[in-house]
Amino acid sequence: RRMYEGTPALVSPEWERDVHAFFAENKITLGGKTLEQYFEQLRVAVAFQEREAEALAAYLGRFVKTR
């Protein structure tokens, strides 16, 4: 379980593809449902980042003082 519990933190489309490719190539017999839940958490995080990144950057940019 510990081996893959960090996968939801790999929040980028590229890393998400890499994670799925890794687990497809390296069959892990432990964790079945738990691994599926980590994949789901990763998918949600990547989708959220893709959807909100621009708006969040614009919002935070309002608080950055330029010289």
| pLDDT per position as a tens digit, 7-49 | 888 899 999 999 999 989 988 777 778 889 999 999 999 999 9
The model's confidence at residue 50, banded by pLDDT at 50, 70 and 90, is very high
What is the distance between the alpha carbons of residues 61 and 40, in angstroms, rounded to a whole number? 30
Better pLDDT: 65 or 18: 18
pTM of the model: 0.75
What is the rounded end-to-end Cα distance, in angstroms, of the chain?
48
Token match 């960090």: residue?
6
Domain boundaries, the chain: 7-61
DSSP 8-state class, residue 30: S
- Give me 25's structure tokens: 């190539």
Interior CA angle at 25 toward 48 and 19, to 5°? 20
